[in-house]
Structure 1
Amino acid sequence: MSYNILITGASGYLGVYGNLYALVRTEAQADSVKQYGAKPLTFDTRIAAEVNFIKTLGEVGSRSGRAVHFLHTTGAKVFSSHAGAPTDRPLLDNDPELYNIQKSQRSSHTRIQEAVNANNIVIKEAEKHGVRSYIFSPCIVYGEGEGFGNKISIQTVAIVKAAKALQRVYKVDQGEPSWPVCHIVDNTTLYLQLLRKILAGEDVPHGKNGYYLASSGSIVWEELYTAMAAALAKRNVVGDATVVPALGDEDSQILERIRAALGCPKEFVPVQLGGKCTFTAVHGKEIGWEPEFPPEHILEAADAEVELILKNL
């Protein structure tokens, strides 16, 4: 059976399908997706009237008599301390109460709360219109991107940007908080495995039970800082490989300089560079996904990651 696939981001897909469409906002983006065999569609998801595509997908399903699916990409931050998620225990992505947990979360950061709300709205609206929804969550992703979009990630890039501006690596958390990690290859293979299952007509968990974290496990932030500090010191980007705390009011000026380097509000610096997340991947393995790289590989790859980031900043 042939399917049409709509990609709502800069991504490529290899598989059996009728047509591959990609939403774009500019002519340059349209030219890029054409190189990957996709048909560009001009669409701006920031316009509220156009975000009714979930309802439209439901109408497609009603007319065709076939199941219609929507994969929403979120992020591990919305399952973390920054988002008011529980961090006193592993938060499994196949927890049957995860939807209710998300609904009860409250974040002091407006942007994070909006992202939490988006997850809930997608699930609610999809269920309302008979669409099968899936919440796909990347975490700290590392490794070189192979598509036409970003070649580098987010959190590791923030560490390098801040260190480069201040010529020192700072940590913004007390204790030893951890965060899930995933190599870009493993992140992609989970997404593809989920697509394969959908295209094969299998009834994979969806809706309120359709959360999928792409992660092979977690690492402690300070271990990541230390590994990246060594790589930065090796390249004379920082004075030495020491990781220095920047935690309280006495470090306000340091946090202000980090804010300027990252281009974010001062209160958002800890969101960019730390936090605690106990979100744990289970669903992926239940649908046949096996990560290739263990969590500690990010520490082994820190030197290459720093080199990649510096070349692309």
Structure 2
Amino acid sequence: MAVKVFMTGVTGYIGGTAFDKIYRAHPDNEYTLLVRNEARAEPVKAKYPKVKFVYGSLDDVDVIEQAAAEADVVIHTAESADHAPSASAIAKGLEKGHTPEKPGYWIHLSGTGILTWYDVVNGREGEPPLPDQKYHDIDDIDRILNLDDRAPHRDVDKIVQAAVSDSVKPAIICPPLIFGQGSGPGNQQTIQIPTLVEMTLREGFAPLVGQGKTEWDYVHVDDVGEMFLKLFEASQDPEKKNNPEIFGRHGYFFGPKGVLNFKKIAERVAEEVQKQGYAKEVTVKPVSLAEQKQLKGYIPVADSLGQNSKSVGQRFKKYLGWEPQVNDSVEDDIANVVRSKAKSLGL
């Protein structure tokens, strides 16, 4: 029988890429997608004519709850890391519509922004990572499950964890900084590095928070799409779907490919903006987090440019055989990002 899949965020960067991967591998499943309205559904329908839609926002919790109750698998990517009402609705719907004999599976998108908590709480802007800020998703699972409640995304992650039962089996994907062009029917661009590029193009300098010694892990969006595909297929695999190390409280999955330093990234952005002729001379300028927030082109996600997020992925490889395959780095992609962002700004 066809698997019934309910998904949010298909018009987004990560969700669109994840859905494209899953749909191409399993086109005969029954897909129901949450979109805001018929206009937003049009490009999705054009690319995937057999899918069904339910209409509403993330605050339409009754719609989400009912769709979750009817689905075999729920994939939540639309503002999923920080929107508590939709997560609660999914938890309630899955519990209502499933039994221990026929459980519902939930693949939830969070992020390794959770690991920035120490810098956020202690105001460590631009400072290098401390040894204790590195988290392995198997070896340090108890630390991850008990992160400080002030950690970003933590309130929603706790909703997902609390839903674990014999009837509801969640897994949480926590990708690091993501780069590359997506393959979905809507937004195909990431956020962090393009935000840095936009601030540089608008201000004439590349802002660097504090000393710029912070580090994040990164991964290509195609590899993130494969993460979702691997977990979706695990939910239908008799040898994997009942494994609590995959679906359950321990089901936290990190997936880094490499490590970036924001000072090097800022220098590379400045170099490329100048090289492509958008300014005669572009420097790297240290700023405080407060000063960064006043720059043209700033959006809140840019706060992460001044914090550390250090993840070590063990779980995907051990249980699902996933490893990142794309060899490009964030630095390799900066020329394309500058070109694309400048075009979007009409420069």
TM-score, scaled to structure 2: 0.76
Name the counterpart of 1:173: 210
Q: Is the 8 A contact 1:168 1:239 kept in 2?
A: no
The DSSP-based 3-state class of the residue aligned with 1:151 is coil
State the 1:83 CA deviation.
Answer: 5.2
Name the counterpart of 1:31: 42
Deviation by residue 1:236-284 (Cα, 9 ceiling, x = unmatched): 3344343221138xxx6x53531x42255xxx7533x331111222222
- Looking at structure 1, the residues matched to 130 and 235 of structure 2 have their Cα atoms a distance apart, in angstroms, of 32
Name the counterpart of 2:142: 97
The DSSP-based 3-state class of the residue aligned with 2:278 is coil
Q: Is the 8 A contact 2:110 2:157 kept in 1?
A: yes
Q: 1:84 to 1:200 in 2, by over 3 A?
A: farther
Q: 1:156 to 1:256 in 2, by over 3 A?
A: closer
- Looking at structure 2, the residues matched to 30 and 118 of structure 1 have their Cα atoms a distance apart, in angstroms, of 27
Q: 1:67 to 1:48 in 2, by over 3 A?
A: closer
Structure 2: gaps of 5 or more residues: 11-15, 65-85, 123-128
Q: Is the 8 A contact 2:107 2:173 kept in 1?
A: yes
Q: 1:212 to 1:158 in 2, by over 3 A?
A: same
- Looking at structure 1, the residues matched to 336 and 41 of structure 2 have their Cα atoms a distance apart, in angstroms, of 31
Confirm whether residue 154 of structure 1 aligns to residue 191 of structure 2. yes
Name the counterpart of 1:14: 24
Deviation by residue 1:57-94 (Cα, 9 ceiling, x = unmatched): 123222x9323111111122122145559953321122
Number of equivalent positions = 294
State the 1:99 CA deviation.
Answer: 4.4
Q: CA RMSD, aligned part only?
A: 2.6
Q: Is the 8 A contact 1:93 1:211 kept in 2?
A: yes
Q: Is the 8 A contact 2:174 2:255 kept in 1?
A: yes
Q: Is the 8 A contact 1:136 1:212 kept in 2?
A: yes
Confirm whether residue 88 of structure 1 aligns to residue 131 of structure 2. yes
TM-score, scaled to structure 1: 0.83
The DSSP-based 3-state class of the residue aligned with 1:208 is coil
Confirm whether residue 122 of structure 1 aligns to residue 160 of structure 2. yes
Question: Which amino acid is 2:90 matched to?
Answer: F
Name the counterpart of 2:330: 298
Q: Is the 8 A contact 1:217 1:281 kept in 2?
A: no
- Looking at structure 2, the residues matched to 44 and 232 of structure 1 have their Cα atoms a distance apart, in angstroms, of 38
- Looking at structure 2, the residues matched to 233 and 175 of structure 1 have their Cα atoms a distance apart, in angstroms, of 20
- Looking at structure 1, the residues matched to 250 and 343 of structure 2 have their Cα atoms a distance apart, in angstroms, of 40
- Looking at structure 1, the residues matched to 279 and 266 of structure 2 have their Cα atoms a distance apart, in angstroms, of 12
- Looking at structure 1, the residues matched to 150 and 194 of structure 2 have their Cα atoms a distance apart, in angstroms, of 27
- Looking at structure 2, the residues matched to 33 and 98 of structure 1 have their Cα atoms a distance apart, in angstroms, of 40
Name the counterpart of 1:46: 59
- Displaced runs of 4+ in structure 1, greater than 6 A? none
- Looking at structure 2, the residues matched to 160 and 240 of structure 1 have their Cα atoms a distance apart, in angstroms, of 15
2:298 maps to which of 262, 266, 285: 262
- Identity level (%): 21
Confirm whether residue 77 of structure 1 aligns to residue 113 of structure 2. yes
Q: 1:67 to 1:84 in 2, by over 3 A?
A: farther
